Amino acid sequence: MAGKIFSGKVFLLVTGASQGIGQKIAEVLSSNLDNGSQVLLLARNAEKLKETSNKLPKNLSVKYESVDLSVAKADQLKDIVLKSLGGKKPEEFDQLVVIHNAGSVGDVSQPTTQMIDFDIWRKYYDLNVFSPAVLNGVLMNIFNNKKIKKNVINITSLCGITPFKSIGYYCTGKAAREMFFKVFAEENPDINVLNYSPGPVETDMLATISNNVGDQDVKTTFQEMRKNKTALTTDQTVRKFTEVLLAKKYKSGDHVDYYDEL
């Protein structure tokens, strides 16, 4: 990578770091951090988190914690972050970098007229909308010292700005989550906020959509994309992500897509 994206002592937190895009982001950003930086990886699968942590540079302090973000309350999230700090004070860090990446696609088999179960709606929004919002507030309160430069990245999607038939939970969840971070950016002009849309990336999530999506036209589009290998690799999208961060041509809170010109 040409140049430093985040310099000084950084506290980097990545949600959904056990696989897919989050795992690659953790790897690539960590390899660019200065000595004394710390990384905290969150997801449910502890084995896979351990695999990710083993790939990170040995000069960093790397911690991981298995947590179901759809049910973890603010107090539990706060404890996880404070525990990872050990005895360190938040103000010992020069920068905070948060990657809100964890997410699920939910049920993609139904048209909107069949989305009539409040419990399914709530469960979906607990993980995909409420959890990043709550975790973000917890982190901003812990790292509230003005001297700490704060960077907050939400992994969003084209689905948050373009409707796709039978992807109602995911499309609305991504739209709401992105708008939350836009409001957050407006309220905090000193914080660097980015909504990064990674393009279609060959991960478990893409396979789930392609296999299960109810609408036949959408299914064909996704299946063709996977068959023709036009979906991106995690390497490709994370390389672009770092270029976007380095070039920093976006306005805080913007939605920037993989396919956008730098």
- Cross-strand pairs, 197: 257
Is 132 a residue that touches ligand NDP (CB under 6 A)? no
Q: Strands, DSSP E only, in 118-258?
A: 149-155, 192-197, 255-257
Is 20 among the residues that bind ligand NDP (CB under 6 A)?
Answer: yes
Stretch that binds ligand NDP, among 3-11, 12-20, 88-96, 187-195 (CB under 6 A): 12-20
**Those residues with Cβ within 8 angstroms of residue 118's Cβ, 6 or more apart along the chain or in another chain:** none
Does position 155 bind ligand NDP by CB under 6 A? yes
Query: Measured between alpha carbons, how far is 235 from 185 in angstroms, rounded to an integer?
Result: 28
The answer to whether 77 contacts ligand NDP (rule: CB under 6 A) is no
Output b/e per residue, 200-213; b: 16+ Cβ within 10 A.
bbbbebbeebbeeb
- The yes or no reply on residue 194 touching ligand NDP (CB under 6 A) is no
Written as one letter, the residue type at 228 is: N
Residue 39 in contact with ligand NDP, rule: CB under 6 A: no
Specify the residue for token string 């299946």.
Answer: 223
Interface residue with ligand NDP among 8, 34, 36, 44 (CB under 6 A) is 44
Cβ atoms of residues 106 and 125 within 8 Å:
no
Work out which of 205, 213, 238, 245 binds ligand NDP, going by CB under 6 A.
205
Give the nearer residue to ligand NDP in terms of CB position, either 148 or 206. Answer: 206
Of 79-87, 102-110, 142-150, 181-189, which part binds ligand NDP (CB under 6 A)? Answer: 102-110
Q: Which residues bind ligand NDP (CB under 6 A)?
A: 16, 18-22, 43-45, 48, 68-70, 101-104, 127, 155, 157, 198, 200-201, 203-206
